[in-house]
Amino acid sequence: MALLTQYRSFFISPFGEPSICDELNAFLKSHRIVNVEKRLVDGERGTGWLFLVEYGQEVKNSYSPQQGQSQPRVDYRDVLSDQDFALFDKARQLRKSLSEKQGLPAYAVFTNEQLAAMIKNKAKTVKDIASIPGVGDAKVRQYAGVFLKLIADHTPAPAAAPAAASAAEQPPESEAAGEAPELSL
């Protein structure tokens, strides 16, 4: 929920009715108070205290996917393998450094959920990152390259099957003997 800031003023004269003090106290008790400023004024209404009360009123945020329900915290150690969690931790460190340089909150670069999706899916291309929910073109342009490099640098290359690798390294017998390979049409 978002907090909408509003203001209300109260004028209390030392010679006035005590009901105004009760009204101010009731108001302060029933609202989320952000700030109160008090000034002694001498004006049209006489001499007295002017209270300017800044208060917040909760407003439902239409952007929230679950309408006021907070999402449960995710422990990414449980979701990711040990190797993926180590990479996730490095990605969070990179995100923190980028966000500090740009004066942004870390989640403005990528959320933990987006980082985990990159790591879990072993993102290899810009298109892989762009397909993650909540990642738009601006984030892709600004950050995809450095995160793809981080993932590539810390992801081992898939090992080929030993039999297939040894067969691929050795030329056919006819080539080994110096003969040209036969071509079939």
pLDDT by 10-residue block (mean), the chain, 185 residues: 79 83 89 90 85 81 48 81 90 92 89 92 92 90 92 75 50 48 47
**pLDDT for residue 98:** 92
Neighbours of 79 (CB within 10 A): 14
pTM value is 0.49
**pLDDT for residue 19:** 83
**pLDDT for residue 59:** 67
**pLDDT for residue 21:** 87
> CATH no. for residue 107?
1.10.150.80
Count, residues in the chain:
185
**pLDDT for residue 115:** 93
**pLDDT for residue 4:** 79
Same domain for 28 and 80?
Answer: no
**pLDDT for residue 74:** 83
DSSP-assigned states of every residue in the chain: -EEEEEEEEEEE-TTS-HHHHHHHHHHHHHSEEEEEEEEEEEETTEEEEEEEEEEEEEE--TT-TTTTPPPPP--HHHHS-HHHHHHHHHHHHHHHHHHHHHT--HHHH--HHHHHHHHHTT--SHHHHHTSTT--HHHHHHHHHHHHHHHHHHSPPPPPPHHHHHHHHSPPHHHHTTPPPP---
**pLDDT for residue 80:** 87
Same domain for 80 and 148?
Answer: yes
What is the rounded CA–CA span in Å between residue 82 and residue 117? 15
What is the rounded CA–CA span in Å between residue 59 and residue 4? 7
The total domain count for the chain is 2
Residue 12 in any domain: the answer is yes
Domain span including residue 16: 2-59
**pLDDT for residue 15:** 80
**pLDDT for residue 126:** 92
Same domain for 88 and 144?
Answer: yes
**pLDDT for residue 174:** 46
> CATH no. for residue 50?
3.30.1660
